């Protein structure tokens, strides 16, 4: 085997080791994101019901509205945050989700006011940031690491067929 071939094999092994070394922390981060969503699954409805003076219907409406609003606002945050992570790097945005969850959890816990709007806004921000930090950052990182050199950076979303031969 020539030196050039040995060098190519060594580079390929290093790339494989790097991919393997980054996969496990990303899997852990994904599981952590799911856990962050699930931690408040029981407490938020109870808190909201208490803040709505026991009115389960109003509490359900508020929780449903915040979930929908967080989804719509999340679309905007994902686009802007994705561009920022492309230019600033992925690591700060990976840390954003857990940090925001801790801070907003403390805000709700230490709050002396019985404001349902505080709970609603903290819930929406937490949902948006956790989803962005987990799903969007993991997808972008997987694309960065495992993308084949000949695949485009983003999928073609147009309705026109791709150029090339067609099968009859």
Residue pLDDT, tens place only, 38-80: 887 788 888 889 889 999 999 999 999 999 999 999 999 988 9
CB atoms under 10 Å from CB of 5, counted, come to: 9
Q: What pLDDT, in 10s, does the model give residues 89-120?
A: 888 888 888 899 889 989 988 887 788 889 89
Instruction: Please name which of 62, 65, 63 lies closest in space to residue 41, comparing C-alpha atoms.
Output: 63
Q: What is the pTM of this model?
A: 0.70
Question: What residue ranges do the domains of the chain occupy?
Answer: 3-144
Token pair for 69: 């609003």
Q: What pLDDT, in 10s, does the model give residues 17-43?
A: 877 777 778 778 778 778 877 887 788
Share of residues in the chain with pLDDT > 90 (%): 20
- Which residue intervals of 40-90 are DSSP H helices? 43-51, 56-88
Do residues 1 and 102 touch, judged by C-beta distance below 8 A?
A: no
3-state secondary structure of 93: helix
Please enumerate in sequence order all residues whose Cβ is within 8 A of that of 101, keeping only pairs 6 or more positions apart, or say none.
36, 126, 129, 130
Predicted confidence at residue 168, as pLDDT, reads 46
Predicted confidence at residue 151, as pLDDT, reads 57
């Amino acid at each position: 085997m020539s030196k050039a071939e040995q060098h190519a094999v060594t580079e390929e092994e290093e790339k494989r080791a790097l991919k393997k070394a980054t996969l496990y922390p990303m899997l852990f981060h994904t599981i952590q994101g799911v856990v962050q969503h699930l931690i408040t699954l029981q407490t938020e409805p109870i808190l909201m019901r208490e803040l709505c003076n026991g009115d389960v219907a109003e509490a359900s409406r508020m929780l449903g509205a915040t979930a929908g609003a967080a989804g719509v606002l999340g679309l905007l945050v994902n686009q802007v945050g994705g561009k920022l992570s492309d230019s600033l790097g992925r690591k700060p945005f990976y840390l954003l989700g857990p940090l925001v969850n801790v801070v907003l959890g403390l805000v709700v816990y230490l709050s002396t006011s019985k404001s349902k709007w505080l709970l609603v806004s903290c819930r929406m921000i937490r949902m948006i940031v956790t989803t962005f930090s987990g799903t969007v950052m993991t997808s972008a990182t997987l694309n960065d690491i495992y993308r084949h050199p000949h695949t485009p950076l983003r999928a073609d979303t147009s309705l026109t067929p791709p150029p090339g031969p067609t099968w009859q």
